[in-house]
Structure 1
C-alpha cells in the first residue's frame, strides 16, 4: 500500500508538472512564434489568453462530470486531447489553427489539473490529505520556475515547435500511465444532483482563492519590471529573484502539507493568511532595499503557497462528496484572481508606482482572510443544524 501510494503521488506530480510546463512555457516562446506566423506580439499573446479563458470556463464542467462518472476516464481523455492539441500547436498551418490548438489545450488541462487534485484527495489516507495534496501541488509549482528555462533551452537547440512535440510525446506516455494508475480509485456513487443547494456555498468558499490570487499575482506579474525600475536589477539578478520566489513556493507547499495534517486544514489556512498580510507589508517597506528583496520574495512565496495548499486540503475535506467540482471551481477562481490581479497591478503602477503594489496586495490578503473566517463559521452552523 505504501509503494502504491508513492506511485500515485509520483504520477500525479509528473502529470501536474507537465500541465504547468504547458501553461508557463508559452510566454518565452511568443517572439519566435510571432516571427514564424508574421503576426504582432499582441496577437500571439492571445495564445495565452484563450488558453486561460477556456480553462476557467470549462474546469467546473469537467469537475462536475468526474464527480458523477469517475475521474480516471476524464483524466485519460484530457491527456489524449493534450497530445492532439500540442501536435496541432507544433504544426499549425496558420495562426488561426494555432489559436484553435491553444483552445483545445485549455480544454485538456481543464479536464486534468483539478481532477488530479480531486483524485489525490479521494485516495489519500484520512490523516494525510494535506501532505498528499502538497506533494502533487509542488509539481505544478516547480513548473512555475522551470517552464521558461525548459522552453528556452529546447528552442535554442531544436526550435520552438520541438517544445510542443516533446510535451505531446510525454503526454501520450502519461495517458497510458494515468489510465492504469487510477484503475482502482473509488468512484462517487451519489446519483443526486451534486450541485443542489451547494453552488452558492461553493462559490463563496472558492472566493477565498480569488482574493488570495490577487494578493499574489497583482505584484508577481510585474515583478521583473518592478525589480528593474525600482532596484536597478540586471537580468541575472531578476532571474535570481524569481528563483528565490520559485524555491519558496515549492517549499511552502511541501511544508504546508505536514503542518496541515498535524494542526488541521482550517487552522493552517487562516494562520498563513495572517502571515501573508504581514509579509506583504514588510515587502512594501523593504521593496527598494537591494539584496534584502531576495529574502522577502522567498518568504512571500513560502507563506503564500503554503496557504494555497492548505486551503486546497481544507476544501477537499469539507466538500468530500463534491470534491471534483469544488477543485475545478477553485482553479477557475484562481484564474479569475490572476486576471483581476494583473489588471489591478497595471492600474496601481500607473497611479502610484511599483512600491505601492505590496500594500495593495496586503489588502487583498486581508479580504481573503475575512472570507475564510466567515466560511468556517458558516460550516460550523451547518454542522450544528445537521447534528440536531
Structure 2
C-alpha cells in the first residue's frame, strides 16, 4: 500500500468516525420527536377536558403538575442507564408512555387520572434521559454539541406543531381521538427505537478512547 492509498484510507476512516447522522442517531431523534409529539398532543386538551368534567382549578393544576415526575426522576434514570445500559430504559420508558396515553380514554375520575399522569411522567423520564445519554454516546466528540442541538430541535418541532393538531382533532372528532393518536405515536417511537443497538457508558467510553 503506497502513501496515497494509506492517506485515503485514513481520511475515509476519519470521515466515518466524525459522521453524525448515523442510523442509531436518526432513530433516537425520530423516537424523541414522536414521543414528545404524543405528550404535546395531550398537554393543551387535558385541562379543557378536566374543566368540562367539573374539576376545579386546584385539582386541574395538581393533575397537570404530575409531569414534574419527569424532571425529578431524571437523575435516577441517568445513573441507572450508566449502570445497566441505555437501550432497556429507552424502549421500556417509551412503551410505558404509549400505554399510559391510551389510558386517558378509560378514566375520567381523579384518582385513576393521577396514576395515569404519574405513569406518563415516569415513562417520559426514563425515555428522555436514556435518549439524551445515548445521543451523547453516538455523536462524535467534535460534533457532540451539534448532535445535542439536533436532538432538542426534535423536541422544539413538536411544541410548535402538536398543540395545533390536538386542538383541530378535539374540535373535529373529540378527546378520545387525540388520546388514541398520542398512544399510537408513542408506540411508533417504541418501534423506531427498538432497532437501536445496545449501548452503555463503558462501551461509549471505550469507543471515545479509540477515536
TM-score past 0.5 threshold: yes
Are positions 1:10 and 2:26 aligned together?
yes
Q: 2:124 aligns with which of 94, 106, 109?
A: 109
Find runs of 4+ consecutive structure 1 residues off by over 4 angstroms. 1-4
Closer, same or farther in 2 for the Cα pair 1:137/1:109, shift >3 Å?
Answer: same
User: Which stretch has the larger CA shift, 9-18 or 158-167?
Assistant: 9-18
> Does the 8 Å contact 1:76/1:179 carry over to 2?
yes
Tell me how far apart the structure 1 counterparts of residues 34 and 60 of structure 2 sit (CA, whole Å): 22
Unpaired stretches in structure 1, ≥5 consecutive residues: 191-319, 322-388
Unpaired stretches in structure 2, ≥5 consecutive residues: 1-15, 206-211
Tell me how far apart the structure 1 counterparts of residues 26 and 50 of structure 2 sit (CA, whole Å): 33
Tell me how far apart the structure 1 counterparts of residues 19 and 195 of structure 2 sit (CA, whole Å): 15
Map residues 1-388 of structure 1 onto 2, 5 A cutoff.
5-29=21-45, 30-35=47-52, 37-52=53-68, 54-181=69-196, 183=197, 185-189=198-202
> Does the 8 Å contact 1:90/1:164 carry over to 2?
yes
Report the Cα offset of residue 60 of structure 1.
Answer: 1.0
Tell me how far apart the structure 2 counterparts of residues 172 and 189 of structure 1 sit (CA, whole Å): 29
Tell me how far apart the structure 1 counterparts of residues 186 and 51 of structure 2 sit (CA, whole Å): 25
Tell me how far apart the structure 2 counterparts of residues 110 and 172 of structure 1 sit (CA, whole Å): 16
Report the Cα offset of residue 49 of structure 1.
Answer: 0.4
How many residues were matched structurally? 188
Q: Any idea what the Cα deviations from partners look like across 1:323-356, whole Å, max 9, x if unmatched?
A: xxxxxxxxxxxxxxxxxxxxxxxxxxxxxxxxxx
Report the Cα offset of residue 186 of structure 1.
Answer: 3.2
Closer, same or farther in 2 for the Cα pair 1:17/1:75, shift >3 Å?
Answer: same
Give the TM-score, by structure 2 length: 0.79
Tell me how far apart the structure 1 counterparts of residues 19 and 89 of structure 2 sit (CA, whole Å): 25
Give the TM-score, by structure 1 length: 0.45
> Does the 8 Å contact 1:73/1:179 carry over to 2?
no
Tell me how far apart the structure 1 counterparts of residues 202 and 27 of structure 2 sit (CA, whole Å): 25
Tell me how far apart the structure 2 counterparts of residues 18 and 85 of structure 1 sit (CA, whole Å): 15
Report the Cα offset of residue 126 of structure 1.
Answer: 2.0
Tell me how far apart the structure 2 counterparts of residues 86 and 47 of structure 1 sit (CA, whole Å): 14
The one of the two structures with greater contact order (alpha-carbon pairs below 8 A, sep at least 6) is 2
Q: Any idea what the Cα deviations from partners look like across 1:211-263, whole Å, max 9, x if unmatched?
A: xxxxxxxxxxxxxxxxxxxxxxxxxxxxxxxxxxxxxxxxxxxxxxxxxxxxx
RMSD: 2.4
> Does the 8 Å contact 2:93/2:122 carry over to 1?
yes
